[in-house]
Amino acid sequence: MDIWFHPSKEIDLLLRDVAASLGFDPSFDPQVRPADPRFGDFQANGVLPYAKGRSENPRNAANLLLGAINSSPKFDASLIETSVAGPGFINFKLTDKFLLAWLGKYKGESELKEASSAFYNGRKVIIDYPSPNTAKQMHVGHLRPMVIGEAVKRLLKFCGADIKCDNHIGDWGTNFGILIHGIKTGGYVLDENNENSLEDLERMYKAGSKLAKESRADADAARAELVKLQNGDPENVALWNKINSVSSAAFDRMYKTMGLTIDMTFGESYYRDKVDRIYRELEETGIARKDQGALVVFIDEHERFKTQPFIIRKSDGASNYASTDLATLLYRVENFAAEEIIYVTDGRQQDHFQQLFLTAQKWFGAKGYKLPKLRHVWFGTILGPDGKAIKTKSGEPIRLKSLIDESVARAREIVEQKSPETPAQEADKIARTVGVAALRYADLVQNRTSDYVFSWDKLLAFEGNTAPYLLYAVARMHSIFRKSGFDADADADIDVAAQSGRFETERERTLARKLVALPALFELTLSELRPHYLCIYLYELAGIFSAFYNADKVIVDDAATRARRLMLCARTFRVMETGLRLLGIEPLEKM
């Protein structure tokens, strides 16, 4: 029997295999779940409902399955102990031999990544984030799609997905008429190197919008500039390109700060010449129809959407989000062979994406196109102390750059308080890492579909489930290795010696079990695309390691004990570092 990377999954497959050989119905579900540690690591609960549904004795059925398992060449009783409990539960307990062998086999990030690649096995995935609108500054609301999208992308890539991030920016719309009119009349010069360009453009747009409401002449002038842009006027197209170029330069600076890995950027404007096909095919298949001058889709089998239209083309003939999103979906399938597409947006767009997915399902089905798996990873709102969306005192959205700068400054103060002897350059690096990581982790640790209240005290705390706590835990492990002279990567002899023994304490065994639970954690996180599961796992792992290290001395005279405990330290260290990087956080060697 091989040392399984994902024991609960393999136990499930083995149970299904032996059940089929015994003549069980193909509908049999073993229902393998984590068990009470007193009885084992996993428990199969599916025998009870299966047997009762057929008026059979569940305990007899469980014993029959267990006998077949123990006779299987795929199973080794020296690695996993089994028993039947109660009315028919089957318990599985990983032995010390299995746990130590697992730690020896999956010893580093490369081994974990190779084994985890089986989850997606090269599946082609497009993930759509952070997708800001050009000519606007990023605000606190952009934090969530950036950090959630990046964490999801990194996890899927680690687990074998052939994944690309498409930054579907909003670079087309009526606002450009006002902006171009303002640039021309105000003589404003766009400069990519000017870090205040987006602030200037926002101010210009607000002033222009106010003028357009107050003055018919200004409104007509802005509308005329928009029409010229839409008709391809060279001067206006050049200004539009410059606005987007300035925006992209500002965005890129923010992406670098936040460690985003953008693979391609196809804005809404890219699909302007691709929407006519969408209109034609939806009408030809009878999915869309004209209603009050607009082209719309009603989903008759949906309670709300049978009367709530999905507007594909507006009554004035203009395209909108629905038409460009459908064109984008088709483009990703035809040009990137996407098998799965993930959209990361706030929860207010749930209706839009439900209608988009249902429309795509009908359309692709009618045309015989292969529909990819479509997933909407939506998130809640960041709240202020008053329970409302967080804003400045003047009621404006908090700029993301200002938020990051303040977080770094606060982290710098903490570094000075805790380690005043730290050289300035090193303190700046620590503060930068901790400040950005604290913002990122405070968001990721939340269940993404929940709103949460922003708190400086909580996110920068060195106690509790925070980035500073986890970064400090990893830095402490670095310190342990430095003091012991142990190389977590190079000491192969330690691994060999460690695997030949048994655990002496329950703390050792508990830590090993937590490490072996990593694949199940990946499976859970992938199933729901909720990074907070990984955050909780890392926090629990750090706590279990701390309890082990504080109670079980690592550097002892007995060679086997020292080797085993050093291996536990090394594996915990690697999993912690790997987990933090999957969340977009780069660990520190010193704090």
> Can you spell out the DSSP letters for 513-555?
HHHHTHHHHHHHHHHHT-THHHHHHHHHHHHHHHHHHHHS-SS
DSSP 448: T
Which amino acid does the sequence have at 538?
Answer: L
- Residue tagged 């915990």 (tokens): 572
Residue 340 to residues 161, 162, 363, Cα–Cα distance (Å): 10, 10, 17
Residues of the chain with pLDDT under 50: none
Question: Can you tell me the distance from the alpha carbon of 326 to that of 360, in angstroms, rounded to the nearest whole number?
Answer: 7
Contact of 531 with 344, CB cutoff 8 Å: no
Q: What is the DSSP string of 128-197?
A: E---PBTTS--BGGGHHHHHHHHHHHHHHHHTT-EEEEE---B--STHHHHHHHHHHHHT----TT-TTH
Q: Is the CB of residue 51 less than 8 Å from the CB of residue 44?
A: no
- DSSP assigned state of 38: T
Single-letter amino acid code for the residue at 411: A
pTM given for the model: 0.94
Distance separating alpha carbons of residues 497 and 479, to the nearest angstrom: 23
* Pairwise CA distance, residues 441 & 434, whole Å: 10
CATH architecture of 7-94: 2-Layer Sandwich (3.30)
Nearest CA among 86, 62, 67 for reference residue 77: 67
CA separation for the pair 347, 380 (Å, rounded): 6
Longest dimension (CA), the chain: 89
pLDDT of residue 190: 84
CA angle 474, 161, 366 (to 5 degrees): 145
13 burial (CB, 10 Å; 0-12 / 13-18 / 19+) is middle
Omega of the bond leading into 34 within 30 degrees of 0 (cis): no
Burial annotation 481-516 (CB, 10 A radius, 16+ → b, else e): beeeebebeebeebbebbbebebeeebbbbbbbbbb
The SS3 assignment for 376 reads: strand
- Residue 395, number of CB atoms within 10 A of its CB: 6
Structure tokens that stand for 415 in this block: 């570094």
Helix ranges (H only) for 419-455 are 424-444
Amino acid at 586: E
Helix or strand or coil: residue 274?
helix
What are the structural domain ranges in the chain?
7-94, 175-258
**Can you tell me the distance from the alpha carbon of 280 to that of 285, in angstroms, rounded to the nearest whole number?**
9
CB 324 within 8 A of CB 270: no
Please name which of 511, 503, 505, 515 lies closest in space to residue 545, comparing C-alpha atoms.
511
φ, ψ of residue 23 in degrees (nearest 5): 90, 15
d(CA 11, CA 479): 38
Instruction: Give the Cα separation of 222 and 216 in Å (integer).
Output: 10
Q: How many Å apart are CA 287 and CA 302, to the nearest integer?
A: 14
The pLDDT of residue 559: 86
pLDDT at 74: 92
